[in-house]
Amino acid sequence: MSVNAFGARLAVFVALALVPALVAADVGILYEVWHTTAAQAMQQVAAMHGTQLTTERVIRSNGAQDLNDVYGPYNISSDIYNVEPALGFYCLYRARAGEPGLVPDCPNITQTATAHAKLLVDMGIDYVMVDVTNWPTNTTSTDISVIRPTEVLFEEWYKLRQQNISTPAIAVWPCSPAGSNTWQVLLDKLYNNASYASLVYQQNGKKVVAIPKNPNCYDEGVAAAIAANGGRNDVTTINLWALFGPADYEAGTWGFFSPCVSSTDGTSYTTSIVGEPACNQRPTLDPATGGITEISASGAYMVSQSALPFANPGHLRGLTVARLFERVLDLRPPHLFLSSFNEHIGGRQQPVSSSKIAFNMGLPNDSQRDVVWVDTYASEFSRDMEPTVEGGDTVYRVASACVALYKAGLNCTAAPTDLCCTRADKEVFANVWSLSHASGNVYDTVLTTNAAEVSALETDGWAENCSPISGPSVFCVDTSLTDGRNGPFILYNQQLPNTIPLYRCNEPQQTHHHISTDPNCDGDGAVESTLGFIAQQRGGETLRGLYRCKTPQGGYAHSLDLPCDTPDGPVLGYVR
């Protein structure tokens, strides 16, 4: 299998490691062509003079709009875009020459393919890996979703190369279980077209096909047939799907996104970027030599369902990708794989948690709040790096800077002011721990951004209110919790535009604390500390409302995203 092929090269990389400029390194990125149906649905909305809504836009409407408003009024059923790409709702389907189309041709294909080639080349991307992981068989729907759009990408980038305009190379990543045939179509139409010989991504003189190494998509016999390519023997396969624990990485399977690892036990995955010393995501090893062959970095990543609190670290102004790159630049393996360029839409499921706060964050009253997004959510909680209307280009620019360092053989010691390395612009967040204490008939909740105070309070009999959702390592997690509203959150550690201070108040007899945006603590006690700053609008980095609640015992608590049982005023602001 392909993984063994890296063994011979590894010795060369070790020998050359002292001369970074000579280290051959390549960078791939997960690329989606799957937008045909959703993009055309958005065009229909525009044609009916509707407003083109995205999940992020519905969240920002703060309850004025509902996810049912995206397509409902137009009787359309399609995937909802989390955000709008800066290039618009593009797609790449067009009918084959001489054939009737299965759906209308997408507009602006050459513009889109040209703009993507430039964005990707400017970013230092050597090849795109087209995601075909959901389409094992050659059906009409597979043709609309991926086969034909991938052909169009080849056609367009081939034309650009004929004009001496650089494009990345292309590889495909088809789900290929026993009996599958999408891989055969892709080989026939693309890999075996002599015109595309140099457009197909190659390693060691062979064309690369990646295969999702999971039980639904992988079969030894099919992998061998792909490598044989009908007797041409000109394909090498890469297993690409390392996710669940060290065994996959040690077996040589490439990661396409790899979560950071908790410093607490050195093993579990964490979504805590703020408050953890390092990311330390797992690299892929060559099982023959133990040498490192590949590593991944992503705009963000999920450890369960991205739309749930703390299941995905989010972009954090590029901090997440920059922290992943600390490890990339330290290990500097020969292959780097990024996730992702442009998913934008994606799968939805019932929430894995039954706690009250387990719904699409920021949409507490939405009619679709309980069908949660898994891989990518809204603008912030996504692996994507393509610039978007709602999210801007921060992640794209940070990732581009990081790739440039990787290719130049530099790290942040050498380039401390590089956008990949600066932290003051990105470390603007603070963890807020929530602790409660029941003493006699007083039930008090205190919030703190100081980890040392958490320990001190615990010694004094306070108990931390955990996250009911798996993900964070700085906060405790208790998946048996059925509520979660009084749990931890993240706010800003400095005053940024459209934020206001959040104070921790203590009343004169020191029997209860409350949170407030009033520097006079609502006339009940005095400010004990400024916890940080909360957003005044819902959306972007801060999707969840923060409310102050009364408790039956006369104390206070808070509630995240949902109303309190006993409310104490309107929403204070928005946190994550």
Q: Is 569 in the site for ligand NAG (CB under 6 A)?
A: no
Shortest reach from residue 198's CB to ligand NAG, in Å: 12
Q: How far is the CB of 242 from ligand NAG (least distance, A)?
A: 23
Cα-to-chain-centroid distance, residue 199: 28
Query: Least distance (Å) from ligand NAG to the CB of residue 521?
Result: 24
| Least gap, CB of 327 to ligand NAG (angstroms) | 10
The verdict on 413 binding ligand NAG (CB under 6 A) reads yes
Using rule CB under 6 A, residue 105 touches ligand NAG: no
CB within 8 Å of 215: residues ≥ 6 apart = none
| The only residue of 155, 234, 248, 541 in contact with ligand NAG, by rule CB under 6 A | 155
Contact map string, positions 111 to 150, toward ligand NAG, x by CB under 6 A: ---------------------------x------------
Q: Residue 407 region, left (φ>0) first, then alpha (ψ -120 to 50), else beta?
A: alpha
Residues that bind ligand NAG (rule: CB under 6 A) add up to a total of: 29
Which residue lies nearer to ligand NAG by CB, 327 or 513?
327
DSSP states of 253-306: PBPSS--EE-TTTSSSEE---TT-S---PPPEE-TTT--EEEEEEES---SS-T
Decide: helix, strand or coil at residue 364. Answer: coil
Strand-pairing partners, residue 381, are 377
Query: Is 68 a residue that touches ligand NAG (CB under 6 A)?
Result: no
Q: By CB under 6 A, which span of 181-189, 198-206, 282-290, 384-392 interacts with ligand NAG?
A: 181-189
Site track for ligand NAG across 182-221, x = CB under 6 A: --xx-------x-xx-------------------------
Binding to ligand NAG by residue 479, rule CB under 6 A? no
417 binds ligand NAG (CB under 6 A): no
Interface with ligand NAG, residue 436, by CB under 6 A: no
Q: Got the DSSP string for 496-559?
A: -TTEEEEEEEE-TTSS-EEEES-TTGGGSSEEEEEEEEEESSSBTTB-EEEEEEE-TTS-EEEE
What is the number of other CB atoms lying within 10 angstroms of the CB of residue 315? 27
Q: Binders of ligand NAG among 306-345, rule CB under 6 A?
A: 330
Decide if residue 553 touches ligand NAG (CB under 6 A). no
The minimum distance between CB 5 and ligand NAG, in angstroms, equals: 27
CA distance 111 to 145: 19
CA 385, 324, 215: angle at the middle one, nearest 5? 80
**Distance between CA atoms of 108 and 265, rounded to whole angstroms?**
50
Q: Is 74 in the site for ligand NAG (CB under 6 A)?
A: yes
Tokens of residue 74, six digits: 């137009």
**Token pair belonging to 91:** 């797609």
Binding site for ligand NAG (CB under 6 A): 43, 62-63, 74-75, 88-90, 107-108, 138, 155, 158, 163-164, 181, 184-185, 193, 195-196, 330, 364-365, 411-414, 563
